[in-house]
Structures are given as structure tokens and as C-alpha cells.
Amino acid sequence: MEINYGSIIALVINLVLIFLIIKTIFKAIQSLKYFINRNKEMDKKLDIIMSKLENKQNN
């Protein structure tokens, strides 16, 4: 039985590429979640600041 080393090397390279692509997609999703959460926190802080400023202007 003959072993084709070229196809084995191609298989290993393909598996590594698939792993790296999946890892990159996972990291991108995590970064997007972090970005969205950070923006929500900033919106809350800005709302608090705006309400305090409005209260000072009304008094």
C-alpha cells in the first residue's frame, strides 16, 4: 500500500487553516461583544451626566 505524502501534508495544512479561521471568527465575535458592551456602558454614563447637567440648569 502506497502512502501519498503530498495528500497528507495538504490535509494537515487544510486542518490548520480551518482551525485558524474558526479561531479568528471566534476572536472577532468576542471583540464585537466587548465593543457593544463598552458602548452601552458609555451611553449609560453619558445619560447620567446629561441628566445631572439638566438638573443643574433647571435649578
- Say which amino acid occupies 19: F
- Say which amino acid occupies 11: L
* 4 SS3 class: coil
Query: What is the distance between the alpha carbons of residues 10 and 15, in angstroms, rounded to a whole number?
Result: 9
**Residue 2 confidence (pLDDT):** 82
User: Looking at the chain, how many residues does it have?
Assistant: 59
**Residue 59 confidence (pLDDT):** 67
Average pLDDT of adjacent 10-residue blocks, the chain of 59 residues: 89 98 98 96 94 84
2 secondary structure, DSSP code: -
